[in-house]
Structure 1
Amino acid sequence: MTTSDGDAGRTTRQQGKRAPAGAAVLREDVTEAIRTAVFAELAAVGYARMSIEGIARRAGVGKTAVYRRWRSKLHLVLDLVSALAVQGLPTPDTGSLEGDLRLLYEVTSRALRHPVASQVIPDLQAEAARNPEIEAALQKALREGQHGVASGIVAQAVARGELRAGLDEEDEELALDLMSGPLYWRAVVVRGELPKGYLGALATATTAALKAL
């Protein structure tokens, strides 16, 4: 008999075909509820105190529904954090390098200052110091997620003649640090309110720095 997360014993069909006998049909709405619950639990109690029981309770599902998808809280968190790397942000295209940076900073600032993100990211960073797997996943999510956007902004600026072509690998890495580092420092490490006009001033300063490469 095929079972689903919420309807044990109910026969289901996917794309017109009966699922194999005994297979568990993983409902997407349940999966999304669990993902949402994970981030909420991380923000509320932190990784060390987070439990599968707490996640299931917050998601309104049984523990079995969680274990059908992930075999431990470590694998659950690694999967969700790694997924952030491929989601990414759309590359801004305002017609100028400074405009692109300003829009990028506005979107990123809102994301980093979200109540959940502002709690989850520092907690996972602390846990990463003790867990190499979490460290690797977090680095991938935070760095590679921004790398594609930053590379796109640089490529557009080169095409418009705002930046020189042919940046070597070292300069490309420096450009990424210049574009991502200051805002991350203020929003995640310092964690204070951004001064009025800060994002615009940062975009102007970063534009000048990139043109100097």
Structure 2
Amino acid sequence: MNRRVPSGAAVLQAGITAAITDAVLAELVERGYARLSMEGVAKRAGAGKSALYRRWRTKQEMVLAVLAEVSVPMADVADTGTLRGDLRAMVSAVASWLTEPPFSRIIPDLVAEATRTSELAKAIATTIGEPRRALTRPKLERAMARGELPADTDLEMAQDLVAALIYWRMVVRQAPVEQDYLDRVTDTALRALRAAAD
């Protein structure tokens, strides 16, 4: 028995999904998470609201799915074969995520909103934070296997350390980033990890 190929409303067309993705990012930049609406996204994308609801049940689900699709792969850096090289790549990836448009505008707003909504904070951790960390953790595990880090290294703390230095300077302080800043962050993180091991 031949199965009928879905058509019309039953098909999630890639072009429409791409237009919606672009619209979500643009709306987040212009309006912020709190003021973003499914209606606004649909209008900007040139699609009906039904096109959004076929893909996502809620605004939160839509926004986080779009952000995860773009931001999670940004944490997937190449294995350099050394702890310092991997830390430098991780630092650069975090800096790019925080400073390149549209994320330089979106992330601070989303973090601020998450401080007011625990459900959103948990969803961000699940859909964006944990997958990004899952991509960087193996680099630290390989450093442990090579003997560059001790077997009892606190990998959660190590990942926090790498990201925290950059986030604090770029997002919280809004301080300028000198040309060699990422190298200095890398060396500081490396010294801190080795000091903790000692």
Q: TM-score, normalised by structure 1?
A: 0.79
In the TM superposition, what whole-angstrom CA distance separates every residue of 1:13-44 from its partner, at most 9, and x where no partner exists? xxx95235886211122112212211110111
**Which residue of structure 1 lines up, in the alignment, with residue 89 of structure 2?**
103
Q: C-alpha separation between the residues in 1 aligned to 2:74 and 2:131?
A: 5
Indicate the structure whose relative CO is greater, using CA pairs within 8 Å and at least 6 residues apart: 2
Report what 2:156 is aligned to. 173
Equivalent position amino acid for 2:136 in 1: A
Where does structure 1 lack aligned partners over 5 or more consecutive residues?
1-15
Q: What's the TM-score once normalised by structure 2's chain length?
A: 0.84
Check conservation: 1:41, 1:50, Cα contact below 8 A: yes
2:149 partner SS: coil
Match of 2:19 in 1: 33
* Residue 198 (structure 1) aligns with: 181
Q: Aligned in 2, Cα 1:173/1:59: closer, same or farther, shift over 3 Å?
A: same
* Alpha-carbon distance between aligned partners in 2 of 1:64 and 1:144, rounded to the nearest angstrom: 30
Partner of 1:160: 146
Specify whether residues 79 and 28 from structure 1 end up closer, same or farther in structure 2 by C-alpha distance, changes over 3 A only.
same
2:185 is aligned with what amino acid? L
Given residue 165 of structure 2, which amino acid in structure 1 is its aligned partner? P
> Whose helix proportion is higher, 1 or 2?
2
* Cα distance in structure 2, aligned partners of 1:195 and 1:146: 26
Unaligned residue ranges in structure 2 (runs of 5+): none
Which secondary structure state, in structure 2, belongs to the residue aligned with residue 18 of structure 1? coil
Which of 176, 182, 187 is 2:165 aligned to? 182
* Inter-partner Cα distance in structure 1 for 2:27 and 2:7: 34
Q: 1:90 to 1:78 in 2, by over 3 A?
A: closer
Distance 1:21 1:27 in 2: 10
Deviation at 1:77, TM superposition (A): 2.1
Instruction: State how 1:47-62 maps to structure 2 within 5 Å.
Output: 47-62=33-48
In the TM superposition, what are the counterparts of 1:76-115 in structure 2 within 5 Å?
76-81=62-67, 87=73, 89-115=75-101
Letter in 2 for 1:177: D
- Distance in 1, matches of 2:30 and 2:114, equals 18
RMSD over aligned CA atoms reads: 2.5
Is 1:44 paired with 2:30? yes
- Map of 2:190 onto structure 1: 207
Question: CA 1:100–1:37 in structure 2 vs 1: closer, same or farther (change >3 Å)?
Answer: same
The one-letter amino acid of 2:79's match is D
Whose radius of gyration is greater, 1 or 2?
A: 1
- Work out which of the residue numbers 130, 134, 137 in structure 1 matches 2:120: 134
CA distance in 1, matches of 2:177, 2:131: 23
Q: How does 1:115-126 map to 2 (within 5 A)?
A: 115-126=101-112
Quote the Cα distance in structure 2 between the aligned partners of 1:39 and 1:22.
26
CA contact (8 A) 1:147 1:176 kept: yes
CA distances 1:162-186 after superposition (whole Å, capped 9, x unpaired): 112233xxx2222122222111222
